[in-house]
Structures are given as C-alpha cells and as structure tokens.
Structure 1
Amino acid sequence: MSVLKVEHKNHICRATINRPQSRNAINFEVMDALEHLLIDLETDSDVRCFVLTGAGENSFISGGDLQEFHTIKTAEEAKPMAQRMLSILKRIEKLPCWTIASINAPAYGGGCEMMLAFDFRIASEQATFGFTQSKFYLPPGWGGLTRLVECVGRSTALQWLAEARIVDAEKALQHGLINRTAPAEQLKKETTAWAQQLTKNDRAFIKNLKQGAMRITEARWQAIEAELDTFAQFWESNLHEKRVEKFLNRNE
C-alpha cells in the first residue's frame, strides 16, 4: 500500500498521505515519498496547484510517528531527522505553483507545522488544530514556531504553544490560521474548485508572485533553521523520553 496517493488532473496535483491506521503520521517512508513527489512538482510545468490532504476521517496529519522516531535518542540523531522535514517543508513553500493544505480532520503537532508551509489552508468545519508539542517537552522543530508567529502573531502563537492549545476551525479561521472552512462532505469539492480558480495563470506568473512575496522575509529562513538546534536539544532530554513513553503506553 502506497503511503502517498498522487493524482494529476487539469493542472492540479492532489496528494493524500495514506496511513490512516497511524493517523497519517509522518515516518521515513512518507518523507521518501514526499521527496520524490517534490522532484516532479519542482520540474513539471503542467502543475499549477499542489493539494495535500490526509486519508480517512480521523486525522489530517498527527505529526511525526512517535512509534518510529522514538528509537532516536540523541540530539545528534534527532537533528538530521528534523533537518530532513524542515527541508521538505521549505521546498513545498518555495514551489513555483500554488499550494493548498486541505485539512480533512484534526491536525496535531507536526501536522500543524506541515500545513503552515502551504500558501493556503482550507479545513473541514469539524477539524481541530493542536499545537501539542509541549506535551512531549518539545518546541516545534520543522519551522512551525516561526511560521505560527507569522500567521497568528507573537502573543497568540506563544500562548497556543505554551498551553498545548487545541483550537476549533472557527477559532482557527478567526485568527487567520486557516483561510477557509467547508462542510466535511464538501471539502474535496470546494478544495478542487478553489484550486481551479488558482490555475488560470501559468507557473511563470505564479512563481513571480510567490518570489516577490518572499523578498521582504529572507531573514525568516535563519529563524527557521535556528529551530533545529533547540528541537534536537530537547529531544534528547529525559523528560521528553518519559512523556513519549507514557503516551505510547497509555493503553496498556
């Protein structure tokens, strides 16, 4: 079973993370699949909009796969893993086509970091958003701190992260975390309609707009890269390991 289902139609590439049994958590296999897809998206002049969603009705992306990543114990091991995801999200953000995160269900931790790398976000009215990294004694490690501050402002971002806050779609829309909502049963249809609106101009035009919008924010890349070191340091802490073990053993 492919962990990433990909469809191409009418200048739109739609990818679905297909690990519903693991709440669509990001593991190394998903990273591999995203990296291969990005090679195509960076070079395929036919694609004018890239849409990402999750399989099933229970999760958009639940973050990193703790079951798999818990084998990583030291900062030296954790940093390359985080660097790899940071690079994937940076490549998504810099694609010369529009990008839409179609949030079909709850997004937690790294799932929220993932969606923030997209140009636009549309969510099911039933979706919730959990900035839950602090429950595991971790700061964001995939650029999410910088992107969240950009999106909702410093004070709100810090409050949500400090409290491991879970917000509903209405509040997320109110604060600008997402751009649109749709009834769950209409999400795919409304996402596709929006993507079609965005594909009226070619990639040269789209690339020009996206690059222009980034010129005033070049310093942000340094801030995003700086998140790696602190993430790796907290990853190897005893408190992080204990909280992950408690979470993984919660049903025993």
Structure 2
Amino acid sequence: MGHILSRREDAVLVLELSNPGKANALDFAMLAALDEQIAQINRDDGIRAVVLRGTPGGVFSSGADIREWSALSPETFATQWVGEGNAVFRRFERLRCPTVAVIEGLCFGGGLELALCCDLRLAGTGARLRFPEVSIGAIPGWEGGDRLQRIAGRGRALEAVLLSQEIDASTALQWGIVNAFCAPQEVEAQLQEWTARLCRVSPRAAALAKALIVDDHDDPHAAYTSAALAVRSSPDAELGIRAFFAKTAAVF
C-alpha cells in the first residue's frame, strides 16, 4: 500500500508520492490520501503553494498500480478506479493555490496524468515521460490524453498516446509539457526559486487567475467580470496598488 508523505516548508506544502516497492505506483490508498491533502489545503489559507514530487532524485511514479486495478471487475474499474480517481484529480487540478510537479525520473501512465494536473512542471534531465496504456490494452483513463492535448496540441497527444512514445526532458520542454528542465544538482535551487516567487504574489489574485484558466466557463464574459469584481474588491488589490505607486514591493 502506498502513501503520500507531506511536510510543510513555511508557506509551501510538499507532497511526496511513496510506494517504494512499486516505483511509486498509484493505488486506492494514495488516491484517498491525496484527497485528504486537498481538503487540508482548502482549509488552510497559510498554504500558498503545493509541490508534488516522487522520490527526490528518482522515480516520480510508474503509473496506476496494475495489480490493484486488474483485480477489479470492469464495472468497479470504470466507476471507482477511473470515475472516482478522476474526481480526485479534478479537485487537485482546481486547488486555489499554485501547484508544481517535480519530475526527476520515470513518470509513466497515471503518474504522468497526475503531473499534468499541476500548474507548473519542473523536470530533471533524467525525466522520462510516457503513456504505455494502449500497449497493454488499456487507456489513459484519468484524462491525461485530454490534458496533454490542451497543453501540447491534438497531434502531439495522439502521438504520445497511440505510439506509447517515451518523451525525454528536452522533448517535453519543446512540446510544452514541462516549463523547464535542469541538471539534477540544480533541481532544488530552481524549485526554491519558483516556490519563493509563487509565495510572493497575491494569493487572491493567483487563485482567481488560475480559476479563469483551469475551470470551464459557460459564459466567459460573466466569469471574467465576476473575477474582476472579486479581485478589485479585495484587500490585496489595495495593497498592491499602494505599493505600485510607492515604488515598493507589495507584501501579501
């Protein structure tokens, strides 16, 4: 049974996938643990950014635990494994605060689908990304193909899914799947730079700006009008405007 280890670093919550005997494969216990972390984050406004990573310096996740899901009936697999798993992933994707995935090694299948739920992705040069599902008679059921399509385009998503093609860090950057990649010894410094910057911005503005990008809107005009009213009415707006005219950095 896997776990999600958590630790707080000031305003940053670090979540570490941990299923050592199975290369951090995702199982029911880890999905439940992730959902618990989502609830905690939503209760704690002091969390300004979330980092999701696998074993530091090693594997992110080998994907969904095939031994767990292969034992399920087709109906249970569809409704619980895929359906409920997707509900957890969507809640994680729509967290109010920014999220960063750190991918340093193997990141396959469901692990890649989870990483694609994050707002930013930082890769080490040893990162290996792949959707192997169709090669074993399965599909990327946690909406990974659709998320990849929105990031990299339909052609790239179909190439990755249908050919089960492994993608290295350089190609992932070219496709837009990761925002940056760096040498293993530079990952922690780059991560700290990103999280420091994320923790300096207005949390209210960041949450609203993220929602406008991530959420589906039946009426975009209404969504932007509502968000504009909310952010302009917030104390963060007044603080930011005063700092701008005083030529100082706003401290939110």
Normalised by the length of structure 1, the TM-score is 0.81
The alpha-carbon deviation at position 12 of structure 1 amounts to: 0.5
Note closer, same or farther for the CA distance 1:171–1:205 as it changes in structure 2 (3 Å cut). same
Q: Are 1:129 and 1:167, in contact at CA under 8 Å, matched by a contact in 2?
A: yes
The answer to whether the 8 A contact 2:3-2:18 is kept is yes
The number of residue pairs the alignment matches comes to 219
2:59 maps to amino acid: S
What does residue 231 of structure 1 align with? none
The one-letter code sitting in structure 2 at the alignment partner of 1:144 is G
| Whole-angstrom distance in 2 between the partners of 1:77 and 1:139 | 12
Give the direction of change, closer, same or farther, for the CA distance of 1:2–1:157 in structure 2 (3 Å limit).
Answer: closer
Q: Are 2:160 and 1:165 equivalent residues in the alignment?
A: no
Amino acid at match of 1:111: G
Give the equivalent residue in structure 2 for 1:198: 198
Identical amino acids, percent of aligned pairs: 25
Bigger CA radius of gyration: 2
**Aligned runs of 1:1-252 on 2, under 5 Å?**
3-55=3-55, 57-214=57-214
For residues 139 and 77 of structure 1, the distance between their equivalents in structure 2, rounded to whole angstroms, comes to: 12
Higher relative contact order (CA 8 A, sep 6+): 1
What whole-Å deviation, never above 9, does each CA across 1:53-99 have from its counterpart, x for those lacking one? Answer: 00254420111111222211323443211122211111111111000
How far off its partner does 1:216 sit?
A: 5.9
- Which deviates the most, 141-150 or 209-218? 209-218
Letter in 2 for 1:30: M
Structure 1 158/190 Cα, relative in aligned 2: closer, same or farther at 3 Å? same
**Aligned-residue CA RMSD (Å):** 1.9
Specify the SS of the correspondent of 2:200.
Answer: coil
AA of the residue aligned to 1:9: E
Query: Does the 8 A contact of 2:94 with 2:214 survive in 1?
Result: no
Which residue pairs with 1:233 in the alignment? none
TM-score (norm 2): 0.81
Asked if the contact 1:20–1:56 (Cα under 8 Å) also holds between the matched residues in 2, the reply is: no
User: Against the structure 1 CA distance between its residues 36 and 214, is the aligned structure 2 distance closer, same or farther, given a 3 Å change threshold?
Assistant: closer
Note closer, same or farther for the CA distance 1:147–1:217 as it changes in structure 2 (3 Å cut).
farther
Q: Tell me which moved more, 105-114 or 188-197.
A: 188-197
Which residue identity is paired with 2:213? A
Closer/same/farther in 2, CA of residues 76 and 85 from structure 1, 3 Å limit: closer
CA separation of 1:17 and 1:76: change in aligned 2, threshold 3 A:
closer
Question: Higher mean Cα deviation, 193-202 or 206-215?
Answer: 206-215
Distance 1:62 1:135 in 2: 15
Change (3 A) 1:215 1:19: closer
Question: Distance in 2 between the 1:197 and 1:56 partners?
Answer: 21
